[in-house]
Structure 1
């Protein structure tokens, strides 16, 4: 089920985000700030605070409640946030698509958690949200993220020049998609 926790390994699970994650999320993002800088927009200092994350999560949860997003976190055995995974821009009707974004705490990188989480999210998107496809993008030199996407069945579909403002500049991005199924369109009432 989409609103349940999903174990990814012995001590890490993927679960829906809650507002109570704000402090723990701020700690993980602060700890990983230098590591993630090349892949992220320039953020105000408030982004790395509990209050800043509470505001961010309130927006994500409002989008979830409106059917536009589904935010998850990776949490450890003590339920501390060690990563974030979001399906955003969920569009139903004949498109049935969403955009995937994610990050993993620097202390947990390289353990295969992003791959396990993206695989599970693709299953949930197909089976629970009834989506047809998921798209994602990476900077051309973010080979770690590209490996995650390739392992999870995403294929590159293009290059978008000056696509996102990352680390202070407009940067090109490689665009990827995964077709989740080619069956009949579910949820024609959407």
Structure 2
């Protein structure tokens, strides 16, 4: 369903494949300190090719079921970000949750905003979703700008919403409506 999408003349986004596990593990390892304040605490084995291979395989299965999609940002063969459209619910909800990160060396260049806009378009046009939700830590102003620049709106704040960096932390909640 999803194919490669050029975001810049160098960076494209495409579904992750099992062959990408080594590069995804390297990207997580390279960005370990950069991502630590924004993500759940990770066990040491999370940063291995084997663990990433299992994760990608599970997400490919979710994609086959239509319940989620995992996309990588690539600069040539180097993974420089990851975007997950997860928890797709059909029926009267037609909604999904979006999570993402971009390599610390690629931040602030508009890649996350371009990728989120592309995912929103795919979710609307190819998946027929009505709504995408996302959340950010209260202090994650860069991610909040990404969402606002991609036409998300803040809809609230959830106390102790997710366990990030080892602590239950408050999050701002955002959504974008794809169909009226």
Unaligned runs of at least 5 residues, structure 1: 183-190
Aligned residues: CA RMSD: 0.8
Match of 1:179 in 2: 177
1:8-27 matches, within 5 Å, as: 8-27=7-26
User: Match of 1:121, SS?
Assistant: helix
The structural deviation recorded for 1:74 is: 0.5
Match of 2:121 in 1: 123
Match of 1:160 in 2: 158
Structure 1 runs, 4 residues or longer, greater than 4 Å off = none
The structural deviation recorded for 1:111 is: 1.0
Per-residue CA deviations over 1:3-48 (Å, capped at 9, x if unaligned) read 2100000100011111111000011111111011110110001110
Distance 1:181 1:35 in 2: 35
Q: TM-score, normalised by structure 2?
A: 0.98
Distance 2:20 2:81 in 1: 11
Per-residue CA deviations over 1:32-89 (Å, capped at 9, x if unaligned) read 1101111011000111010110111111111111111011110112x22111001000
Counting matched residue pairs gives: 180
Distance 2:40 2:3 in 1: 30
Match of 2:4 in 1: 5
Match of 2:31 in 1: 32
Match of 1:85 in 2: 83
Unaligned runs of at least 5 residues, structure 2: none
User: Match of 1:101, SS?
Assistant: strand
Match of 2:167 in 1: 169
Match of 1:148 in 2: 146
Q: TM-score, normalised by structure 1?
A: 0.93
User: Match of 2:70, SS?
Assistant: strand
1:92-107 matches, within 5 Å, as: 92-107=90-105
User: Match of 2:108, SS?
Assistant: coil
Match of 2:55 in 1: 56
Distance 1:17 1:128 in 2: 18
